[in-house]
Structure 1
Amino acid sequence: MKKLKNEKELVKKALALGVAYGENRGVVEFEPTDSATDKLEYIYRLLVHDGIIQPLPAEQVSQKAIQHRLAMWAARQ
């Protein structure tokens, strides 16, 4: 997994895009007290379920891998 040049900013962008996507679909309403890691995991699973991104192999699922996958998704948006 090659780290992206501006991965931290892309993760923030992915979080904003993913929250908007989930709320526009009407499947989730995030609370201000929800942690960023919980939001990122939910967004990842929602995007995989909708077929927007490819799922990670089960043995490779980790917070760092989820952040990287979502950063790559945000870079294409």
Structure 2
Amino acid sequence: MGKNKHEAELVKKALAVGAVYVKKRGFGEFEATDSHKLKVEYLYRALVEDKLIQPLAKQDINIPKMEHKLALWISRQLPRDHPLLADQ
């Protein structure tokens, strides 16, 4: 799966869904003052911990690649006809 032109919106959706997930999972919750970078890294690590996404290689761990992983994760959770999945 290549980069989706809606990847930024998919990352926002992943963070919204992920916030609910980490809270229900007991990992804590996102605060309004948390940076985007912190939220991305926190959700990425929570999903890796629960084996819901495959971890990046150690040398590849950075925010843009974590965002891409989150976009891929949420794209698999959304229905096929979701507007963010159009024109991939």
Tell me the TM-score normalized by structure 1.
0.93
Describe the SS at the equivalent of 1:27.
Answer: coil
1:30 CA drift (Å)? 1.8
The corresponding residue for 2:58 is 58
* Match runs of 1:1-77 below 5 Å: 2-77=2-77
1:2 CA drift (Å)? 3.5
Q: Gapped runs of 5+ residues in structure 1?
A: none
Q: Segments of 4+ in structure 1 off by > 3 A? A: none
Higher alpha-carbon deviation: 28-37 or 62-71: 28-37
Describe the SS at the equivalent of 2:55.
Answer: coil
Tell me, in whole angstroms, the C-alpha distance in 1 between the residues paired with 2:14 and 2:47.
11
1:68 CA drift (Å)? 0.4
Q: Gapped runs of 5+ residues in structure 2?
A: 78-88
Q: Deviations over 1:6-53 (max 9, x none)?
A: 101100011001111001112112211111110110000000010000
Tell me the TM-score normalized by structure 2.
0.82
**Larger C-alpha radius of gyration, 1 or 2?**
2
Number of aligned residue pairs: 77
